[in-house]
Amino acid sequence: MIDGTHIEFEMRRLIRQQNMQDIATTNTDNIAKMSQSAIEKVCMFEQFLLTLPQVVMPVTHTLHGGVYSRTLTIPAGVVITGGFIQVPTTLIINGRGTIYANDETMEVDGYKVIVASAGRKQIFSAHEDTTGTMFFATNAKTIEEAENEFTMDAHMLLSRTHEHLNTEIITGE
């Protein structure tokens, strides 16, 4: 398996190869709506990642009180891309890694709550085993409805391609 450092290097190389802006580092606790060119960079990098061996991770889903959440633990050294997110969400990250969004990287070390706008697709590189939870308000009654609400890429989600690894908690409240 290729380690996260190599992947980050490759990500930066691919971006520079396309004569694109260098990546900056930010210390903010939010992810804004991304530009179309930044989303295209993530999509380009995602195509590269799909050529590598894939790591399967269990996803825990919760629908409770009008809130949908999904949690996964990303093993150290693994780099993932998310689906295109079309609703505002809150992310809670616990661990150590790097988020790439909007031509910037955000370093996470420990516990971090991040507000994230609709209109984004980011990359996450885990430097140690890292747990991430994304949640948003919804009227969805099923996990499938919630996934379809937050992304147009639902068909590519780990929870759709490896359903046997899902844990689902739906309270009906």
Predicted local distance difference test score (pLDDT) of residue 82 = 86
The CATH number for 50's domain is 2.60.120.10
How many C-beta atoms surround the C-beta of residue 60 within 10 A?
A: 17
Task: Read off the pLDDT of each residue in 84-109 and give the average, rounded to a whole number.
Answer: 93
When mean pLDDT is compared across 79-83, 138-142, 150-154, the lowest value belongs to 150-154
Task: Read off the pLDDT of each residue in 100-122 and give the average, rounded to a whole number.
Answer: 92
Structure tokens given for 4: 């996260």
The residues near 34 (Cβ < 8 Å, ≥ 6 apart) are: 42, 101, 102, 119, 120, 121, 122
How many C-beta atoms surround the C-beta of residue 34 within 10 A?
A: 23
When mean pLDDT is compared across 101-115, 121-135, 150-164, the lowest value belongs to 150-164
Q: What residue numbers bound the domain in which 16 lies?
A: 4-170
Provide the number of structural domains found in the chain.
1
The pLDDT confidence band at residue 10, using thresholds 50, 70 and 90, is: low
